[in-house]
Chain A
């Protein structure tokens, strides 16, 4: 790889061991993927921000990086943690896990990261523009940044995102390059997408088919909301490893479907009907009569509009006393929900608005043991995909309306 003088100096250790190790990781990646050079990145979103993912090994890796003089050179935001950093104790999160989380958060903060602990940094103003190179992790945020914003990032794992945060660069391969951003699979959506959950159903179906290829959707209305596109990307990146999708007439690199394919034809075409949607996500809804335990909304983290909808649907009702309702979001979004009275409406009904964490990155097994949950219910295809593995529980998957109705009645259906 051709390195700039500054990059070479980092690789040679002139800025100390943390930067040398970082450049080594990035150069190795660049060699694997045939990158000819590095590209400067303007921001990093850090996967591996929860100790549930980083583990002891990753936590030590991050701590050692900080101890060896690591300082972040670019704006870096943190992905969700293992618990709500302020209210974990009252929520019943295990102290040992949270003690380790404090270590990990502290090490990242020491290097300069903003400890927002959210999977939707773009809702907090971490907003790269069209064509801007960044190095992001968090599969749903990667899909959003590439697709909805038109920024350029590969799927970064914890160690490579950390390396880019230090060095301010990433190897120029994959989605950093024009030629790799063209669509590959045409997806004609022939049915109405009625709820945000329908966007998740669609993404889950298409992600399984595409694996790491780039879908181009037609038939999605220009009125699709950020929440709907967020849900679509999160699901695409769960059943597959889709890092970029185009929506004709909606996303910035797809003014038309033809533009998104960049002059080539699709290598595959899919037609999605109403019955495909239902069949494709049937595997996510696997609970059969198990009592409701945890009802989880906000995967990816809820926007203030979504919190408002939960509050409105709960109005005048109380949750069934055998279950918990979590609405997960970022700290600043919760503050806005507080101001608007949504948090109060949700807590008065018996639910919780939880910050900094999510059911995929929380100590799920310990919480099952503590609260005796027998199932997880959610409106998120992504969470419905990961919950059986993380929580060891069957999942009820349905629209928000169905989830809230179930949380009030105590019955799914």
Chain B
């Protein structure tokens, strides 16, 4: 699987470094009514992530939406060990940002590459939020 890795810049929202398999949604994400905080299972009906598990993933989506309760729910997922390890957005919406600040989940936004071209579900991704760098280390063979 030695492939040339894709690297792109993004803006630091919340600092930190993390590595994990990517889980990509082209649709906005809300943690309330969208994710089971005990298991990390995504539950929103008809959402592209329905049935996926976000635990340990680098979660990639355009922007947060919906309930302002999402911030504490992310914090609860960290406590329960089922949170995403990092979040990559096109645009940081304040609820997601505050959730990441309190939970200390690394987060970046405003990528200088086409996010959904660069990262597919299952790719191994490294997020260095402090440096504002996202690296696709390896292309996933078979998704999650």
Q: Check if B44 is an interface residue, CB within 8 A of chain A.
A: yes
Instruction: Identify B98's interface contact among A29, A57, A390, CB under 8 A.
Output: A29
Q: Are B69 and A237 in contact (CB under 8 A)?
A: no
Contacts of B33 in A (CB 8 A): 360, 385-390
Closest residue to B98 on the A side, CB-wise?
A157
Q: A residues engaging B (CB < 8 A)?
A: 25, 28-29, 32-33, 47-48, 50, 53-58, 61, 137-139, 142, 154-161, 174, 211-212, 237-241, 283, 286, 360-361, 385-390, 392
A-B contacts, 27 of them at CB < 8 A, read: A25-B102, A29-B97, A32-B92, A33-B94, A47-B69, A48-B71, A48-B72, A54-B72, A54-B76, A55-B37, A56-B79, A57-B78, A139-B67, A155-B94, A157-B69, A158-B68, A159-B75, A159-B101, A160-B71, A212-B93, A241-B28, A386-B32, A386-B33, A388-B45, A389-B34, A389-B43, A389-B45
Q: Which residue of the partner chain A has the closest CB to B15?
A: A28
Contacts of A154 in B (CB 8 A): 94
B101 touches A55 (CB 8 A): no
B73 at the interface (CB under 8 A from A): yes
A157 CB contacts on chain B under 8 angstroms: 68-72, 94-95, 98-99
Cβ of A266 to closest chain B Cβ, rounded Å: 20
Residues of A within 8 Å of B94, CB to CB, are 29, 33, 154-157, 160, 174
| Interface contact B76-A56, CB-CB below 8 Å | yes
Complex interface residues of chain B between 21 and 39 (CB less than 8 A to chain A) = 28, 32-34, 37
Check A239 against B65 for contact (C-beta < 8 Å).
yes
> Do B98 and A392 have beta carbons less than 8 Å apart?
no
Contact B69 A361 (CB under 8 A): yes
Residue interface mask B90-128, A partner, CB < 8 A = 1: 011111011101100000000000000000000000000
Residues of chain B with a CB closer than 8 A to A25's CB: 98, 101-102
Which one, B75, B91, B92, contacts A57 given CB within 8 A?
B75
Contacts A29-B97, A53-B32, A389-B45; is A159 near B72 (CB within 8 Å)? Answer: yes
Question: Which of B70, B76, B78, B91 has a CB less than 8 Å from the CB of A212?
Answer: B91
Counting chain A CB atoms within 10 Å of each CB, which of B33, B63, B71, B78 scores highest? B71
CB distance from B101 to the nearest CB of A (A): 5
Complex CA distance for A157 and B103, rounded to whole angstroms:
13
The distance in angstroms between the C-alpha atoms of A32 and B76, with both chains bound, is 23
B142 in the interface, Cβ–Cβ < 8 Å?
Answer: no
- In the assembled complex, which residues on chain A have CB atoms less than 8 Å from the CB atom of B93? 155, 212, 241
**B64: interface (CB < 8 Å):** yes
Given A25-B102, A28-B101, A212-B93, verify A53-B63 contact (CB < 8 Å).
no
Pick from B75, B93, B94, B97 the residue with the most CB of A within 10 Å.
B94
B66 within 8 A of A: yes
Say yes or no for B87: interface residue by CB 8 A criterion.
Answer: no
Chain B residues with CB under 8 A of A32: 13, 92, 97
A158 with B72, Cβ < 8 A, contacts A29-B97, A56-B79 known: yes
CB distance B66 to A241 under 8 Å?
Answer: yes
B residues in contact with A386, CB < 8 Å = 32-33, 66-67
Q: Which residues of B contact A387 (CB under 8 A)?
A: 33
A238 and B44 contacting across the interface, CB-CB below 8 Å: no
Which residues of B are found within 8 Å of A392, using beta-carbon distances? Answer: 43
In whole Å, how far is B105's beta carbon from the nearest beta carbon of chain A? 13
9 further A-B pairs in the complex, CB-CB below 8 A; given A157-B95, A361-B69 = A48-B68, A55-B37, A55-B73, A57-B79, A58-B75, A160-B98, A240-B66, A388-B44, A389-B33
CA distance A155 to B97 in the complex (A): 11
In Å, the complex CA distance between A392 and B43 comes to: 8
- For the complex, give the distance between the alpha carbons of A137 and B66 in Å: 11
